[in-house]
Amino acid sequence: MIPLLVRHAIQILVQGGRHSCEEIAALERVSVRSVYSIAKEAAVKSVESRAASHGRRIGRPSKAEPFREAARKLLKDEPGLLSVEVTRRMGLLGYLGAKSAMYRLIASL
């Protein structure tokens, strides 16, 4: 992940228009492709990396997330149900992800 200060510097250099994307990539030690994608992003307003990454939903989306409501309803109806059984029943509903992702979802509920 490219730090927010580097993202900000790239955005400023791109806005300045005096450097090519290849030069900016060399200056900031990132790929040219990263320069193009960072230039399209919204302007960096804060250097708080954790909040920014959470707000932008960086990373691969969870396969278990679409089953949150079904799992919540199941646990509400049967509170003593083991997580392995919840995972099995979500599989019957079409869940194809790993059990660890479902276990994290269950723990968050």
pLDDT tens-digit series, residues 28-87? 999 999 999 999 988 887 776 555 555 555 567 889 999 999 999 999 999 899 999 999
Same domain, 8 and 47: yes
Q: Which position has the token pair 């979802």?
A: 105
**Crossing angle between the packed helical segments 68-77 and 83-92, to the nearest 10 degrees:** 130
**What residue numbers bound the domain in which 71 lies?**
65-108
CA distance 1 to 69: 31
Query: Which of the listed residues 12, 37, 56 is the one where a domain comes to its end?
Result: 56
Q: Give the H or E element holding residue 91.
A: helix 83-92
Contact 19, 35 (CB under 8 A): no
What does the longest C-alpha to C-alpha distance in the chain come to?
Answer: 64
Domain count, the chain: 2
Same domain, 27 and 49: yes
Q: What is the pLDDT of residue 31?
A: 95
pTM for this model (two decimals):
0.50
Is it the case that residue 109 has pLDDT exceeding 80? yes
CA distance 3 to 34: 12
Same domain, 8 and 51: yes
Same domain, 11 and 39: yes
Same domain, 38 and 8: yes
Query: Which of the listed residues 56, 79, 96 is the one where a domain comes to its end?
Result: 56
Length of the chain: 109
Token pair belonging to 27 = 């200056």
